[in-house]
Amino acid sequence: MINRNPSIANIKAGYLFPEIARRRREFEAAHPNGARIISLGVGDTTEPILPHINAGLVNGAKALGKAETYSGYQDEGLLSLRARISEVFYKNAFAPDEVFISDGAKCDIGRLQLLFGAGVTVAAQDPSYPVYVDGSALAGAAGAWQGGGYEGIAYLPCVAENDYFPDLSRIPENALVYFCSPNNPTGAVASKRRLSELIAVARKKGCIIIFDAAYAEFIRDPSLPKTIFEIEGAETCAIEVNSFSKPAGFTGVRLGWTVVPKALKYAGGESVNADWARVTSTIFNGASNIAQAGALAALEADGLKEIRELTDFYLENARLIRETLQKLGVSSVGGDNSPYIWAHFPNRDSWDVFAEILETRRVITTPGSGFGPAGQSFIRFSAFGHRADVEEACARLSALDVV
Residues that bind ligand PL4 (CB under 6 A): 17, 42-44, 104-107, 129, 180, 184, 212, 214, 243, 245, 251, 256
Q: Count CA atoms within 13 Å of residue 116 on its CB side.
A: 26
Measure the CA–CA gap between 209 and 239, rounded to whole angstroms. 6
Whether omega for the bond prior to residue 6 falls within 30 degrees of 0, making it cis, is no
Give the contacts of 14 (CB within 8 A, at least 6 positions apart).
Answer: 22
Output the smallest distance, CB 380 to ligand PL4, in A: 8
Closer by beta carbon to ligand PL4, 254 or else 265: 254
Question: Residue 355: which of 366, 344, 341 has the closest Cα?
Answer: 366
Q: Contact, 126 vs 372, CB < 8 A? A: yes
Closer by beta carbon to ligand PL4, 96 or else 249: 249
Question: Residue 240: which of 258, 225, 261 has the closest Cα?
Answer: 258
Closer by beta carbon to ligand PL4, 17 or else 284: 17
Look at the chain and count its residues. Answer: 403
CA-to-CA separations, 201 to 133, 156, 169, 196, 346, in angstroms, rounded = 21, 14, 8, 9, 33
Output the smallest distance, CB 128 to ligand PL4, in A: 8
Closer by beta carbon to ligand PL4, 106 or else 322: 106
Measure the N-to-C terminal CA separation of the chain; round to a whole number of Å.
54
Output the smallest distance, CB 259 to ligand PL4, in A: 14
Output the smallest distance, CB 2 to ligand PL4, in A: 28
Sign for the pseudo-dihedral over CA of 336, 339, 340, 341: positive
Output the smallest distance, CB 186 to ligand PL4, in A: 11
Closer by beta carbon to ligand PL4, 37 or else 200: 37
Closer by beta carbon to ligand PL4, 208 or else 210: 210
